[in-house]
Amino acid sequence: MADQRQRIIASVFSRRNASGNLEETYVSHVKIWEDAGPEGGGRKPRYILLSQASNGSGFLHKSKLNTNGSFSVGKTWRLPELRAIQVVNPLSFNITLSRTYRWQTENQLDQANFLDAVIQLFRLVAPGSALQLEGFQESQKSSDSRAAQSSLWPFTPSIVDRGSDFTPSPTTQTLLRTGSISRAPSPTTTSRFVAYPTNNPRDSPTTRPPSLSIPPQLSGSRSKLLRPSNADNGLPIINPLTSRIHEKPPQNADSTSVISSPYQTSHRPRSLSPASVRTRTQLLQNQKNSLSTTAEPVLRRDQNARISFYDLANQATLDRLISEGTGMSVDPEGEDENTSATMATVEDMIEGYEWASDDVITRKSSRGAADLIEARLLDELMALEKANIHSFLEFDDRISIVLKYLDEAVSELDNMDSLVSSYKIHLNTVSDDIFYIQSQNRGLQVQTQNQRALLAELENLLQTVNVDQGSLVLLTQESLEKPQSIERLEEAAAQLYKALQAGRDTDMAATMERLQEYRTHNAQFCKRMFDFLSIMFTAQSTLLLGDTSGMNPASGHNKPTLVSHGELEAYLGRYSGLVLYLKEMDENVYAKLCAAYFSVASGLHSTQFKTLFSTYTSFVKKSPGSHDHSFSSTPTTGASKGATGMRRAGTIMRSPIEGRNRDKDKVTDGDSRASEVFRLVLEQLAPAIYRENEFITDFLQINEAGLTFADYMGLDNYFRRQAARAASLSQPTLKLVRGSMDLIFGFLPAELKIWLDSVLEKDKLEIIGIIVHLERFLVAAQDRGNQFFVAMLEKQHVRLKGIFERYVKGQITDIEQTKLSSKKRQGVAHFVKQFPTYVGLVENQLVGADVLEIRANVNAAYEKIVQSIFDSLKQMAKMDGEGEDKGQLNYHVILIENMHHFVAETSILEAGSVNAFCRQAESIYDENLSAYIKIVIRRPFSRIIDYFEGVEHLLKTTAPTEVVSNNIYNKNALRKIVREYNSKDLRKHVDALFLRVGKHFAEASGKATSEESGGIVPGTVLVGVWKACEEELLRITDLFKKRIAQCYSDTGINLEYTTADVEAAFRRHRIGS
């Protein structure tokens, strides 16, 4: 056991805080077994550890024994959270914390010791908390109580009662001084309580020491002197210290401790003043009330002992009755006169009871002596109170008179209570009857109100079903053209509408005949409206077309436009209310009316749109040549050559993009691009389609709003509900109205396709601009929510995208065909010349189209075309040339001159989409130019280049100072090589180089050299090539000088030409030399 305790302390309670003290101190432990659950396989052992923290609090830990012999804590509870302990059997107990746990132990003694330690530590760390103990033996409880008292009060009551010499221990003195005595647990939770002394009739009132004889004049003042300060708040007067000192152990297991006076001597009772009796009786009652609220198993008094009852409200009456019966008077001033006398006899009282002995007075702890004196005085006061009250009640004859009156009063109250109870029973019975009558009354009132409302509804229904004869005459004879007549017709139709709606669900015989007559009038009015409106549709359409087929003639720079339908819509819109009536009251006639309007509107729009297409076709300009925009090598016309002829690469040229706005503003008949004309056409078509859709929505009520004629006329809610319930159309009618736009504009997709094909025949490249404008109007149509227009434009968009893809494939085929048909080098290829022009024309149509789909399609087309161009150029370069060296040289020449033209002409367009292609072409140009320069330079300077290249290879394995010792690269060999390349020979070699380079790039540059000056024309590819040749020769010359200085510094040999000679030789072949 000790070894186990040491291991627990070492594993769990060895941690120290910042000050070096242990955080927790071991107190006790016990081994338990707990249920491991269905998955744990039975029971598992655990250890419950009890500890006290350095701050005074306590803890319970549940731990387990590890395989290495150490202990680890799994769960911890604070000891103040403890609520109850129940001993089930000697080897099992329940403990209640946040919930109740049942633990089984192995040893009965270990369990008992552990629970004792838990209880003692709990009372120490939580003195004010309640702890419920169950299953403990009474002897164990008593011993626990005595052990707790002895631990807190190291003296027994018997010692104090005997008055023996007793000196409190230092601990007791400290507790008495500081007042840190732990309060006893609540009797309701600990099953132990302290019973304060009560007035027992069997106790002789004369059992009092002779030395306690108190003069009568002091009896009233003593209660004032000894009354504690908290008497007013109803708390008990007796100090806990007194109750503990004078508590006697129980005589048996079932008895409770009773504190009585320490002295049982008799003395003669003395009479007390009423004021004293009243004061002390109140004091005693307060004590009893306090005990009754704190102690559950209280000792009950004799039921006949009515003297213990004290009623504050009746005290004045009681005093008056007593004083009248005895002739006594209450003089409160008499008590104050005896105060000084009482204080004078205090010392005598102390000496009489041997309280002033040396054993008490000479103690160092004056406060402890005072507490003992106070306790003794309070005990004596209690005994005195009991004796006084008892003697007062025993020897006063007026008590029987008061009791008689009280009994009579109680009897009267009992009679009154029985009468009140009977009255309540009768009242409850009458209340049920009243409630029943009230409910019946309310039911009758509701029934009366419902009958009145029903009568009013019936009267209203009969009134509604009735239509005056004047309204019926208006429906058959009133004019349908004037606005005032239309309003009167709407009002008359509303009367008929209400009658028919009200009689829709009624089967009353009184109304059936009348409703049948109204249905006949309704059918006649609907047919009259249909005949009139059908004629008006045709008349208004013919009036709108006039002699110009619905087109406004051109004025100035403005193109012809469609005639607006505003007047026609305003005229027909006056009948929208009557059409709504027609829709609800006769669906068949409404369907015929819709079909008639769709037919007339379709013919009207067809005539206008066809005229628009034919008129705007004449505004499209035709491409100057059928092959101008193609990458084919087919010769172009003379006009095209003048427009797209070869320019020098360095000349300043304006981008075609700069003229976009200028070309847009300057539009003349027959000189407009197809894409611009298509934009003008869509600007006429889109508003007409949008407006027609909105008109038929309002005029024929083709929408999901659910508007009824009752809503239109502002009728009562009853008619609105009736109309909404029967407002649905049949499936054939719904199909007709939902396809209204297809019926009206069914001709438009085919007409638009024919027109687009015709304008693309004039200029196929304009398909890009056409797609741009089509996508813009498609986005606008989606925003407007016009499904018909969106579907039509999407169909055309898909078709035009296919045409554009086929066009791009055709251009790539032309490029590949040029590659196969080319037999020899002809300068810049035709498709390279054509590509910048192609890009300029395309970009001119893509202004503001960066967010459209066509932008991505064009970029993809660029990539395909450029890749085809580069592949074709490389293939053409490989095919050219007879020998291997000549073929390699021609390969570089073709790529140099074509890439130079591509970069020079494309970069000035400032089109971001082709910048990547320009960088790719520049890379190819630089690579091939470097290779070409090395080849042409080596031919005139081959010997000196080969010599110094050999020196370079030799330096990789030989020191620079040893190169001169080599047989091949010695001093004589260097002198021989240097003499072959003097300044005169340099000029001769540069002249030959110029002739050769000029011959190579003559085709690409046209007349590359100027006959007057013998120089190079600025801006040609030869300028870049010649500059590169000069830079290469200067570079190798510097390299020659560096190697001579590095390896032949002691020979005194140098080059016989200088860098200045090189620059002068190349300068002779430039302009202005």
Mean per-residue pLDDT, 218-238: 37
Residue 1056, in any domain of the structure: yes
pLDDT for position 40: 60
pTM tops 0.85, yes or no: no
Contact (Cβ atoms closer than 8 angstroms) between residue 877 and residue 895: yes
Angle at 942 between CA 936 and CA 943, to 5 degrees: 170
Asked whether residue 141 carries a pLDDT value surpassing 80, the answer given is no
Phi/psi for 631 (5° steps) reads -90, 10
User: Do 586 and 732 share a domain, yes or no?
Assistant: yes
pLDDT for position 130: 84
Portion of the chain with pLDDT greater than 70, in percent: 68
Residue 675, in any domain of the structure: no
- d(C-alpha 135, C-alpha 89), whole Å: 8
Q: Which of 136, 151, 168 is the last residue of a domain?
A: 136
- How many domains does the chain contain in total? 4
Indicate the residue type of 515.
L
pLDDT tens per residue, range 481-500? 899 999 999 999 998 888 88
Mean per-residue pLDDT, 995-1006: 73
User: Do 100 and 202 share a domain, yes or no?
Assistant: no
Indicate the residue type of 725.
R
- d(C-alpha 226, C-alpha 228), whole Å: 6
CA proximity to 879, closest of 816, 933, 819:
819
What pairing do the DSSP bridges indicate for beta strands 132-134 and 84-89? Answer: parallel
Phi/psi for 24 (5° steps) reads -135, 145
Asked whether residue 717 carries a pLDDT value surpassing 70, the answer given is yes
Residue 97, in any domain of the structure: yes
Asked whether residue 152 carries a pLDDT value surpassing 80, the answer given is no
Q: Which of 744, 762, 780 is the last residue of a domain?
A: 744
Highest mean pLDDT among 177-186, 724-733, 966-975: 966-975
pLDDT for position 34: 85
User: Do 588 and 482 share a domain, yes or no?
Assistant: yes
* Domain around 75: 2-136
pLDDT for position 822: 55
User: Do 486 and 590 share a domain, yes or no?
Assistant: yes
Of the two residues 852 and 312, the one the predictor is more confident about is 852
Residue 999, in any domain of the structure: yes
User: Do 391 and 475 share a domain, yes or no?
Assistant: no
pLDDT tens per residue, range 647-670? 433 334 444 444 444 444 444 446
Of the two residues 502 and 692, the one the predictor is more confident about is 692
pLDDT for position 702: 80
User: Do 592 and 499 share a domain, yes or no?
Assistant: yes
User: Do 211 and 107 share a domain, yes or no?
Assistant: no
Residue 1032, in any domain of the structure: yes
Asked whether residue 155 carries a pLDDT value surpassing 60, the answer given is no
Contacts of 152 (CB under 8 A, 6+ apart): 175, 181, 182
Contact (Cβ atoms closer than 8 angstroms) between residue 189 and residue 132: yes
Of the two residues 676 and 911, the one the predictor is more confident about is 676
Residue 637, in any domain of the structure: no
In this structure, what DSSP letter does residue 668 have? -
Indicate the residue type of 966.
N
Indicate the residue type of 841.
L
User: Do 282 and 366 share a domain, yes or no?
Assistant: yes
pLDDT tens per residue, range 875-910? 887 765 544 567 778 888 888 988 998 888 888 887
User: CB atoms < 10 A from the CB of 725, how many?
Assistant: 12
pLDDT for position 1051: 84
Q: Which two tokens stand for residue 702?
A: 């083709």
| Element holding 134 (H helix, E strand) | strand 132-134
Residue 606, in any domain of the structure: yes
Check residue 684 and give left, alpha or beta (phi > 0: left; psi -120 to 50: alpha): alpha
User: Do 11 and 109 share a domain, yes or no?
Assistant: yes
Residue 877, in any domain of the structure: no
User: Following CA atoms 662, 667, 668, 671 in sequence, which dihedral angle do they give, to the nearest 10 degrees?
Assistant: 90
Indicate the residue type of 585.
M
First to last CA, the chain: 119
* pLDDT-derived band at 558, boundaries 50, 70, 90: confident
Helix, strand, coil % in the chain, rounded to nearest 5? 65, 5, 30
pLDDT, averaged across the chain? 75
* pLDDT-derived band at 730, boundaries 50, 70, 90: confident
Asked whether residue 245 carries a pLDDT value surpassing 60, the answer given is no
SS3 346: helix
Q: Which of 694, 723, 744 is the last residue of a domain?
A: 744
Portion of the chain with pLDDT greater than 90, in percent: 32
pLDDT tens per residue, range 377-415? 998 898 888 887 777 666 667 778 888 899 999 999 999
Strand ranges (E), 10-109: 24-35, 43-53, 58-65, 71-78, 84-89, 92-96, 100-105
**Cα R_g (the chain), whole angstroms:** 63
- Measured CA to CA in angstroms, residue 155 lies from 367, 415, 678 at distances of 17, 58, 120
Contact (Cβ atoms closer than 8 angstroms) between residue 58 and residue 122: yes
Angle at 794 between CA 793 and CA 799, to 5 degrees: 95
pLDDT for position 821: 59
Mean per-residue pLDDT, 804-826: 78
Indicate the residue type of 501.
Q
Mean per-residue pLDDT, 346-356: 51
User: Do 381 and 263 share a domain, yes or no?
Assistant: yes
Of the two residues 354 and 370, the one the predictor is more confident about is 370
- Measured CA to CA in angstroms, residue 589 lies from 518, 615, 643 at distances of 17, 39, 67
User: Do 390 and 474 share a domain, yes or no?
Assistant: no
Whichever domain contains 86, its CATH number is 2.30.29.90
User: Do 96 and 229 share a domain, yes or no?
Assistant: no
Asked whether residue 178 carries a pLDDT value surpassing 80, the answer given is no
Of the two residues 624 and 808, the one the predictor is more confident about is 808
Of the two residues 128 and 677, the one the predictor is more confident about is 677
Asked whether residue 436 carries a pLDDT value surpassing 70, the answer given is yes
pLDDT tens per residue, range 248-259? 333 433 333 333
Contact (Cβ atoms closer than 8 angstroms) between residue 629 and residue 674: no
Contact (Cβ atoms closer than 8 angstroms) between residue 104 and residue 92: yes
* pLDDT-derived band at 365, boundaries 50, 70, 90: very low
